[in-house]
């Protein structure tokens, strides 16, 4: 995702910190500051969320490092996982 696309995505999605397209599945994964994105942050214990933009699957994280790790690996989204297993459409 280039800079212009990232700026547009930030305007569209509150709390967005990063976004990228998975090379494995071709789906777009967003990384959000949970509170700004109005996502559940487990009362501050899980301030970061990764979201599969294609399927709406949300995964909560305690640290930014953990959240970034989840951006590369989409096994936490069941729909993505099923798609990856079946190969590209
Ligand atoms: Zn997905």
What is the number of domains present in the chain? 1
Q: Which residues of 73-85 are buried (b: 16+ CB within 10 A; e: fewer)?
A: ebeebeebbebbe
Q: How far is the CA of 44 from the centre of ligand 1 (A)?
A: 25
Residue 89 has a pLDDT of 45
Task: Give the residue numbers spanning the domain of 10.
Answer: 3-86
Q: Edge to edge, what strands does the sheet with 48-52 contain?
A: 16-21, 28-33, 48-52, 57-61
Has residue 70 got a pLDDT over 80? yes
Report the percentage of the chain scoring pLDDT > 90: 61
The whole-model pTM stands at 0.85
Q: Which residue has the higher pLDDT, 73 or 16?
A: 16
44 confidence band (pLDDT: 50, 70, 90): very high
Q: How far is the CA of 20 from the centre of ligand 1 (A)?
A: 13
Q: How far is the CA of 59 from the centre of ligand 1 (A)?
A: 11
Asked if 60 and 42 touch (Cβ cutoff 8 Å), the reply is yes
Asked if 51 and 57 touch (Cβ cutoff 8 Å), the reply is yes
DSSP tag of 20: E
């Amino acid at each position: 995702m280039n800079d212009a696309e990232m700026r547009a995505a930030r305007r569209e999605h509150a709390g967005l910190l990063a976004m990228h397209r998975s090379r494995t599945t071709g789906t777009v994964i967003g990384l959000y500051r949970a509170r700004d994105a109005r996502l559940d942050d487990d009362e501050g214990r899980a301030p970061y969320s990764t979201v599969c933009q294609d399927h709406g699957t949300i995964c909560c994280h305690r640290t930014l490092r953990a959240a970034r790790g989840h951006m590369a690996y989409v096994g936490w989204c069941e729909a993505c996982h099923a798609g990856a297993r079946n190969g590209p459409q």
